[in-house]
DNA sequence: ACTAAATAATAAATTTTTTTATTAAATGTT
DNA sequence: AACATTTAATAAAAAAATTTATTATTTAGT
């Protein structure tokens, strides 16, 4: 029971065999992405006649790649059989790497999460040891999962910073040699490996099973420690020439003289991001502001999670004030992008999505003020639905869609 | 000799006939867009066998839609016949409407310009008379061209402002009734009509036969009277949800208290655009600055064309200074977009492309300073090649590609 | 100039796909 | 409950496309 034979396209196969293979691919893709379906529907969808589709569905059943899920109800007439992908036929692996933790998820062929390990303790550092440790964690997860490696179609690893997914290069982390990072990891985990920018993977998660319904043009704002963006355009991920699209945080907007992580000054990220929030709160506390957080003797030790909990659990006024300011700044910048992109949907995601109640209103107000009316009317706002699972889920869908040649 | 029969897809045609029609469409599209080709090549391109392609090419020859252009040279072996679209089989019409003139072009099926009328005197005003006048001009052009109307696949009319090309609505000009503007014009000129945003059409012109070579992600900056942008993404025009993408000029960047044409204050367009240039030059002249333009007794009467000629013909220092300032401001904003889009190419087009020598360097300098290094390295700069013909040429290509269902 | 190798085009044979006809299974109406 | 209607699935006949074989043209090498 393996579909790999469908995807070794050796050179000298005759045209007719190629067409059969392609149609089979189409059927597998349709059943994986679109879910269960009947022969008459698949016939319409693919443009091939019912006997042809029937024959191939028979072969796929024989091969164990799909299952017959029995007759389904209709409004009238003989009831058709519904066929769907065998959940056990293949799997997708998603890995989200943050500064302090790794989250790994395994998805079955029918897009169900079969295993997820959240927040495995890990320290992301830009050295070989850290990379080796990451591979060890992934290998341990796969071994524990009891899914044979050859059934795992591929793994997608999400990292922050500049990622060229097409070539497999990461420039901000683990750029030690001329070989693509994806190949280095691939040889260590023995599973086809892709790498992806974290914001983009989160975006793809929300797009496939999050808040995105039918929207084709979407901006996903990832406010976590840094500030990133993922873009859905023409109904698919937008990469740009080399995959550096969405570098949202480093717009030169402020004269604040604060040095950004990118090396420049006055970036949007210095005013709108997790670390900006932490810095601002600490500054205010040091200059005597009171807050739920004031009870901390050591101001230095305060971290974002504590600030978020102060907002969510205690409606901390100081933090809410800072968040509202941040929302206004974000909204003003988003207004420009909205004018350029004319999106249908803007999603607030990332760690700070937890406090989006306080961000969203100022964002929307600023956006309304600074963007063109007609363009602004098209935009809806939503908060991420998948939360901190968006990354892994998205990564699994990226593997799936790369496998099917859609990305 | 008409290909229309291929495109009336009535409902109850059998599957096999549909497939033949689709393959014929593919062949016509390939020969129109890709140019002349041989049967073996077309076979590889379409994935159909040589005898099948041979049969259909025979039919298309019979129908007069394509021509046999004779044997072509190869490196070895029997020489194949080359087939190409009959230039006379169908035509595309492009219409560019500016504040003060209309330019109309007619393109043959093999993408050659067969007739162009540039700068027909016209005054764009937002009333029904102005619209009627426009239709009269188009009708006169078609009559004079001696190409039968039914051979004109369609016309694309370019206008400034918010255009929803999909629905055919224009909101900034000629929005008089609930009916789409495209239908109104269509019934007056008796040719299938599309409307398009001017910057977008210009972008498509440059993309198809201008400075764009193989770049898939392109930003086209249209600096004319106003400031607009066209975007090529994933190798095609980007529209956004309703077709309002590229509203470049109305980013709220300045505290200059100048009222923009959009009704808001401090828009980029108030500092970077043809009218900004005119305003700034006039202000400086009024406060006593000297320039080639000083000899004009009536400062009010100075227009952009005079300023451009002062720069091009006399290297006017005052105007060049203003242009360099504008370039810096434009570059700073472009830096943000480049970070988000990661384009391969940025094109300076529109009326002010004539003085791009003085814009480009400050734009590039500012862009380098304010964008991320890795992203900035991907960007190349070019000046529009088609100049003031970009709009009509692009409009023709838009008709062509809408006809073939590519847009 | 002759011959081998390469590519194109055509013809005949084979395979694949579709069409049409038939049977099966379900719903709803009189 | 019988029957018309609808949709699905299968079988046999017909059509279409591909494969293989053959012929035609051209280049390059001896």
Domain co-membership, B227 together with B331: yes
Position B300 scores a pLDDT of 85
Distance of CA A158 to the CA centre of its chain: 8
CA atom of B20 to C1′ atom of D24, Å: 29
Q: Out of A50-64, A84-98, B252-266, B376-390, which region has the weakest mean confidence (pLDDT)?
A: B252-266
Residue B340 to residue A233, Cβ atoms within 8 A: no
Question: Averaged over A67-88, what is the pLDDT?
Answer: 91
Residue B319 lies in a domain: yes
Across the interface, which of A49, A216, A264 has its CB nearest the CB of B15?
A: A49
Domain co-membership, A279 together with A374: yes
Q: Measured between CA atoms, how close is A247 to chain B, in angstroms?
A: 5
Residue A208 lies in a domain: no
Question: Averaged over B333-361, what is the pLDDT?
Answer: 95
Domain co-membership, A34 together with A114: no
pLDDT at A77 over 70: yes
Out of B85, B103, B121, a domain closes at B85
Domain co-membership, A220 together with A281: yes
Question: Averaged over A143-169, what is the pLDDT?
Answer: 95
Structure confidence by residue, pLDDT tens digits, B95-154: 999 999 999 999 999 999 999 999 999 999 999 999 999 999 999 999 999 999 999 999
- The domain tally of chain A equals 3
B193: helix, strand or coil? strand
Residue B378 to residue A244, Cβ atoms within 8 A: yes
Domain co-membership, A197 together with A344: no
Residue A238 to residue B236, Cβ atoms within 8 A: no
Strand C bases near protein CB (under 7 Å) are 5-12, 15-20, 24-28
Per CB-CB distance under 8 Å, the chain A contacts of B243 are 342
Range of the domain at B253: 213-384
Position A106 scores a pLDDT of 98
CATH code (residue A190): 3.30.420.40
CATH code (residue A45): 1.10.10.10
CA atom of B39 to C1′ atom of C12, Å: 21
Question: Averaged over B238-247, what is the pLDDT?
Answer: 95
Q: B323: pLDDT confidence band, cut at 50, 70 and 90?
A: very high
Residue B208 lies in a domain: no
Please, what is the average pLDDT of chain B? 93
β-bridge pairing A101-108 and A163-164: unpaired
pLDDT at A1 over 60: no
Position A268 scores a pLDDT of 94
Domain co-membership, B276 together with B357: yes
Position B7 scores a pLDDT of 65
By percentage, how much of chain B surpasses pLDDT 90? 84
Q: B282: pLDDT confidence band, cut at 50, 70 and 90?
A: very high
Residue A139 lies in a domain: yes
Structure confidence by residue, pLDDT tens digits, B169-186: 999 999 999 999 999 999
Q: B301: pLDDT confidence band, cut at 50, 70 and 90?
A: confident
Position B290 scores a pLDDT of 83
Residue B236 lies in a domain: yes
| Residue B211 · residue B218 · CB < 8 Å | no
Domain co-membership, B47 together with B110: no
CA atom of B61 to C1′ atom of C21, Å: 37
Domain co-membership, B124 together with B79: no
Structure confidence by residue, pLDDT tens digits, A241-282: 999 999 989 988 888 889 888 888 889 999 999 999 999 999
Task: Tell me phi and psi for residue A86, to 5 degrees.
Answer: -70, 115
Position A10 scores a pLDDT of 61
Structure confidence by residue, pLDDT tens digits, A311-321: 999 999 999 99
Domain co-membership, A173 together with A147: yes
Strand D bases near protein CB (under 7 Å) are 5-12, 15-20, 24-28
Question: Averaged over A71-77, what is the pLDDT?
Answer: 83
Sheet with B81-85: strands ordered across: B37-38, B81-85, B66-71
Written as six digits, the tokens of B379 are 């960007």
Domain co-membership, B221 together with B344: yes
Helical spans, DSSP H, in A34-162 = 39-46, 50-62, 128-145
Name the DSSP class of A253: -
Residue A240 lies in a domain: yes
Taking the C-alpha atoms of residue B349 and residue A316, their distance in angstroms, rounded to an integer, is 51
State which protein residues have CB closer than 7 Å to strand C: A 16, 19-20, 23, 47-52, 55, 71, 73-79; B 14-17, 19, 38-41, 50-51, 54, 74-81
Nucleotide with C1' nearest the B46 CA:
D17
Question: Averaged over B307-328, what is the pLDDT?
Answer: 94
Structure confidence by residue, pLDDT tens digits, A170-227: 999 999 999 999 999 999 999 999 999 999 999 999 999 999 999 999 999 999 999 9
Name the DSSP class of B338: H
What angle is formed at CA B364 by the lines to CA B358 and CA B368, rounded to 5 degrees? 155
Structure confidence by residue, pLDDT tens digits, A83-116: 999 999 999 999 999 999 999 999 999 999 999 9
Taking the C-alpha atoms of residue A18 and residue A255, their distance in angstroms, rounded to an integer, is 60
Position B264 scores a pLDDT of 83
Position B235 scores a pLDDT of 96
Domain co-membership, A247 together with A274: yes
Question: Averaged over B243-252, what is the pLDDT?
Answer: 91
CA atom of B43 to C1′ atom of C14, Å: 20
Nucleotide with C1' nearest the A82 CA:
D8
Domain co-membership, B79 together with B95: no
Residue A47 to residue B19, Cβ atoms within 8 A: yes
Taking the C-alpha atoms of residue B328 and residue A20, their distance in angstroms, rounded to an integer, is 57
pLDDT at A37 over 90: yes
Position B4 scores a pLDDT of 67
Helix (H), strand (E) at residue B37: strand B37-38
Question: Averaged over A49-64, what is the pLDDT?
Answer: 95
Helix (H), strand (E) at residue A229: strand A227-233
Distance of CA A326 to the CA centre of its chain: 24
Helix axes B317-341, B356-370, angle to 10 degrees: 40
Position B11 scores a pLDDT of 63
CA gyration radius for chain A?
Answer: 24
Residue A240 to residue B341, Cβ atoms within 8 A: yes
Residue B141 lies in a domain: yes
Structure confidence by residue, pLDDT tens digits, A318-347: 999 999 999 999 999 999 999 999 999 999
Residue B105 lies in a domain: yes
């Amino acid at each position: 029971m393996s579909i790999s034979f469908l995807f070794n396209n050796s050179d000298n196969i005759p045209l007719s065999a190629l067409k059969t293979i392609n149609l089979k691919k189409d059927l597998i893709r349709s059943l994986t992405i679109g879910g269960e379906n009947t022969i008459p529907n698949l016939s319409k969808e693919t443009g091939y006649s019912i006997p042809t589709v029937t024959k191939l569905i028979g072969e796929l059943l024989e091969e164990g790649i799909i299952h017959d899920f029995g007759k389904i109800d209709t409004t009238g007439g003989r009831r058709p059989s519904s066929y769907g992908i065998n959940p056990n036929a293949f799997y997708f692996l998603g890995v989200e790497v943050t500064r302090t933790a790794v989250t790994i998820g395994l998805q079955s062929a029918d897009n169900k999460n079969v295993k997820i390990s959240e927040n495995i303790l890990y320290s992301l550092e830009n050295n070989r040891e850290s990379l080796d440790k990451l591979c060890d964690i992934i290998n341990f997860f796969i071994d524990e999962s009891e899914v044979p490696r050859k059934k795992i179609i591929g793994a997608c690893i999400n990292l922050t910073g500049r990622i060229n997914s097409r070539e497999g290069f990461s420039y901000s982390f683990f750029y030690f040699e001329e070989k693509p990072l994806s190949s280095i990891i691939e040889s260590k985990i023995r599973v086809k490996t892709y790498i992806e920018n974290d914001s983009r993977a989160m975006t793809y998660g929300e797009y496939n099973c999050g808040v995105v319904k039918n929207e084709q043009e979407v901006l996903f704002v990832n406010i976590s420690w840094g500030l990133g963006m993922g873009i859905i355009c023409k109904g698919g991920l937008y990469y740009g020439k080399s995959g550096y699209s969405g570098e949202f945080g480093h717009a030169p907007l402020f004269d604040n003289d604060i040095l950004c992580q990118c090396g420049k000054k006055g970036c949007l990220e210095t005013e709108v991001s997790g670390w900006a929030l932490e810095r601002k709160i600490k500054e205010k506390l040091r200059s005597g502001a009171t807050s739920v957080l004031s009870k901390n003797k050591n101001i230095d030790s305060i971290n974002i999670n504590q600030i978020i909990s102060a907002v969510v659990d205690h409606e901390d006024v100081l933090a809410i004030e800072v968040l509202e300011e941040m929302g206004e700044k974000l909204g003003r910048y988003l207004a420009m992008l909205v004018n350029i992109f004319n999106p249908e949907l803007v999603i607030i995601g990332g760690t700070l999505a937890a406090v989006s109640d306080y961000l969203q209103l100022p964002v929307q107000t600023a956006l309304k003020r600074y963007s063109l009316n007609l363009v602004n009317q098209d935009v809806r706002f939503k908060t991420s639905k998948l939360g901190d699972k968006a990354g892994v889920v998205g990564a699994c869908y990226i593997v799936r869609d790369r496998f099917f040649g859609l990305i």
